Amino acid sequence: MKKALVTGITGQDGVYLAEHLLSQGYDVFGMIRGQNNPRRATVEQAIPQAHIIDGDLLDQGSLIAAISKTQPDEVYNLGAISFVPLSFKQPELTGEVTGLGVTRMLEAIRIVNSKIRFYQASSSEMFGAAKTSPQNEATPFHPRSPYGVAKVYGYYITLNYREAYGIFACNGILFNHESPRRGLDFVTRKISRAAARIKLGLEKKLKLGNLEARRDWGFAGDYVRAMHLMLQQPQPDDYVIGTGESHTVRDFCNAAFRHLGLDWREHVVQDQEFTRPSEVDTLCGDSSKARRILGWEPSVRFPDLVRMMVEADLADLKHEMGPRAASRPSR
């Protein structure tokens, strides 16, 4: 039975990836940081078959200990400070976790067993202010946030350990991927949650920043399949993963509210608080290489993704409200 160690198991992708690896017959170890991490219980409930192991990307010794103890065949490094606005507020910590954390994990692999295969969660945010569209593996990087800069460092250190030490290390350059498990602050989930709350009469307004930003949004469940496929190839390589379609934040609002019979223009207000010191205006992924070599295809398109997220938030809120949901006047 193959063994995989996953950092960031408490995040959106960590849970989907663990489920996928378990379905492929893996023994899965999920790394959790901190004392009394509040998300530990959620992971234990969602994926009870996964084993929890302590560790922190800020702590080299804990990574060496985790690798020595679990002796994995594959390591998936999903742990990061991943919220772009937080990276502007805490740029140094972002560099430590999202950037140097990759080096610490690669060092742990090099020291304990350099045959372990390594996946690095690289990001389309590395392209930032790209001059060409769509972006592929050859597009130059121009990150626009401390997060994007830290991911560029993580990308290159992964490449360097491949070239210097022959480690089977791959970068998955993933465009935005979403789901009902997406963190509540990311724009898609913020919109789906608010639309559902407004529908149920729990809220009236939704404050957003730049409505013109354009992203290539896919479904997280599809994207974790690509991570696994990268580590099953005969040679390590880097792959762009996206749908090839992009939409604005405004489009997402329109689709989400319309699905509930609402007009987004009556509810969405713009607020400077949610604009960024420097923005990534538009991103769109060209995944031809992944389609050709990995045989990877996304299965969920934009309208279905929006529907999936809105429906899940509505069901979740109704469940939380109990009988109150039926008696409350909805919009």
62/124 with CB nearer ligand F7E: 124
**Spatial distance between the Cα atoms of 29 and 195, rounded to a whole number of angstroms:** 36
Q: Is 147 marked active-site?
A: yes
For residue 170, the partner it binds in ligand F7E, ligand NAP, none, with Cβ less than 5 to 8 A by kind, is none
Residue from 276, 307, 318, 331 in contact with ligand F7E (CB under 6 A): 276
Q: Are 197 and 203 in contact (CB under 8 A)?
A: yes
- Position 91, amino acid: P
Q: Is residue 163 involved in binding ligand F7E (CB under 6 A)? A: no
110-122 burial, b at 16+ Cβ within 10 Å, e below that, comes to eebeeebbbbbbb
Partner interacting with residue 73 (select from ligand NAP, ligand F7E, none; CB below 5-8 Å by kind):
none
Tell me the one-letter amino acid at 229.
L
Query: How do strand 247-248 and strand 214-215 relate by DSSP bridges?
Result: antiparallel
- Pick the catalytic residue: 76, 147, 155, 239? 147
In sequence order, what are the residues at sequence separation of 6 or more whose Cβ sits closer than 8 angstroms to the Cβ of residue 74? 2, 3, 4, 5, 116, 117, 118, 119, 231
Choose the one of ligand NAP, ligand F7E, none that binds residue 185, judging by a C-beta under 5 to 8 angstroms depending on kind.
ligand F7E
Count of CB atoms situated within 10 Å of the CB of 76 = 31
Among ligand F7E, ligand NAP, none, residue 190 binds (CB under 5-8 Å by kind) = ligand F7E
Among residues 26, 125, 239, 246, which one is catalytic? 125
Residues in 118-157 that interact with ligand F7E by CB under 6 A:
123-125
- With beta carbons less than 8 A apart as the criterion, state whether 178 and 305 touch: yes
* Residue 156 a catalytic site member: no
Contact between 209 and ligand F7E by CB under 6 A: the answer reads: yes
Query: Widest CA span of the chain, in angstroms?
Result: 65
Positions that interact with ligand NAP (CB under 6 A): 7-8, 10-14, 33-34, 37, 39, 56-58, 78-82, 97, 121, 123, 174, 176-177, 183
C-alpha 42/C-alpha 10 separation (Å) is: 8
Residue 137 falls in the annotated catalytic set: no
Asked if residues 71 and 48 have their Cβ atoms less than 8 Å apart, the reply is: no
Site for ligand F7E in 15-74 (CB under 6 A): none
> Quick check: 176 binds ligand F7E (CB under 6 A)?
yes
Distance of closest approach, residue 23 Cβ to ligand F7E, in angstroms: 24
Which residues contact ligand F7E (rule: CB under 6 A)?
A: 82, 84, 123-125, 175-176, 185-187, 190, 208-210, 213, 215, 249, 274, 276, 279-280
**Catalytically active residues, by annotation:** 123, 125, 147
